[in-house]
A = this chain, B = another copy of it.
Amino acid sequence: MSCKNTIMRLSEYRRILCKLKALGFTRVFSDHLAGALDISPALVRKDFSDFGLTGNRKSGYTVDELIEKMNMILRKDKVEPVIVVGCGGIGRALMEYNAFAGEGIRIVAGFDSRPELHDLKGTIPVHDISRLEVYIKGHNIKTAILAVPESSAGDMADFLISRGVTGILNVAPIPLKGYDNCVIRNINFLHELENTIYFASMLDSKQK
Of B166, B177, B198, which is within 8 A of A73 by CB?
B198
A46 on interface, CB distance cutoff 8 Å: no
Known: A93-B89, A197-B80. A8 touches B203 (CB 8 A): no
A155 on interface, CB distance cutoff 8 Å: no
In the bound complex, CA of A203 to CA of B99 (Å): 27
A125 on interface, CB distance cutoff 8 Å: no
- CB 8 Å contact bits of A120-150 with B (1 = contact, 0 = none): 0000000000000000000000110100000
Of B96, B173, B194, which is within 8 A of A89 by CB?
B96
User: Is there contact, CB below 8 Å, between A182 and B194?
Assistant: no
How many copies the complex holds: the figure is 2
Of B15, B75, B175, which is within 8 A of A197 by CB?
B75
User: Is there contact, CB below 8 Å, between A97 and B89?
Assistant: yes
User: Is there contact, CB below 8 Å, between A200 and B82?
Assistant: no
User: Is there contact, CB below 8 Å, between B185 and A169?
Assistant: no
Q: Which of chain A's residues 173-198 have a Cβ closer than 8 Å to chain B?
A: 173, 175, 177, 180-183, 185, 187-198
List A residues at the B interface (Cβ < 8 Å). 7-8, 11-12, 15, 36-38, 73-75, 80, 82, 89-90, 92-94, 96-97, 99-100, 103, 105, 142-143, 145, 166-169, 173, 175, 177, 180-183, 185, 187-201, 203-204, 207
25 intermolecular pairs with C-beta atoms under 8 Å apart: A7-B194, A11-B191, A73-B198, A89-B92, A89-B96, A90-B90, A90-B93, A97-B189, A100-B193, A103-B190, A103-B194, A105-B194, A105-B197, A142-B200, A143-B196, A166-B203, A167-B196, A167-B200, A168-B196, A169-B189, A180-B207, A181-B203, A183-B199, A183-B203, A185-B195
